[in-house]
Amino acid sequence: MRRNNRLKILGILILIAAAMSLARIGPWRSGFEQATALVAGLTGRAVEHTLLPYGDKEELKKQAARDRERSMRLLRENQHLKQEIRRLGFIKAVRPAPGGVVARVTMRDPSAWRHSVVVDAGANQGVKAGWIASTESGVAGRVTRCAATTCTVRLIVDPDSATSCVIHPASGAAQTAEEADFFCMAYGAGARGLDILVVSSSRTARRGDLVVTSGYGGHYPRGLPLGKVSGRAKSGAHAAQGFSVKPYADFKNLEYLLLSSQ
Does residue 39 carry a pLDDT above 50?
Answer: no
Q: What is the pLDDT of residue 112?
A: 63
Domain locations along the chain: 2-51, 55-91, 96-262
Give the bridge partners for 164, in sequence order.
185
Tell me the pairing of strands 162-168 and 242-247.
Answer: unpaired
Does residue 88 carry a pLDDT above 60?
Answer: yes
Does residue 28 carry a pLDDT above 50?
Answer: no
Taking the alpha carbons of 37, 41, 42, 47 in that order, is the dihedral positive or negative? positive
Taking the alpha carbons of 156, 162, 164, 169 in that order, is the dihedral positive or negative? positive
Q: What is the pLDDT of residue 245?
A: 93
Q: What is the pLDDT of residue 259?
A: 96
Most confidently predicted of 67-81, 109-123, 138-152, 204-218: 138-152
Q: What is the pLDDT of residue 111?
A: 74
82 vs 66, which has greater pLDDT? 66
- Return the H-helix or E-strand segment holding 232: strand 225-232
Tell me the whole-structure pTM to 2 decimals.
0.65
Query: For 141-163, what is the mean pLDDT?
Result: 95
Q: What is the pLDDT of residue 249?
A: 93
Q: Which of 128, 158, 156, 157 lies closest to 143 in space, CA to CA?
A: 128
| Mean of the per-residue pLDDT values of the chain | 78
What is the per-residue pLDDT across 185-244, written as a single tens digit (0 to 9) for each?
A: 999 998 889 998 877 656 778 889 999 999 888 789 999 999 999 987 665 555 556 789
Instruction: Determine the 3-state secondary structure of 145 from DSSP.
Output: strand
Does residue 107 carry a pLDDT above 50?
Answer: yes
What share of the chain has pLDDT > 90, as a percent?
Answer: 34
184 vs 92, which has greater pLDDT? 184
Domain 96-262 sits in CATH at: 2.40.10.340
- Return the H-helix or E-strand segment holding 86: helix 57-94
Does residue 49 carry a pLDDT above 70?
Answer: no
What is the per-residue pLDDT across 114-140, written as a single tens digit (0 to 9) for each?
A: 799 999 999 999 999 999 999 999 999
Q: What is the pLDDT of residue 197?
A: 85
For residues 226 and 213, the answer to whether their CB atoms sit within 8 Å is yes
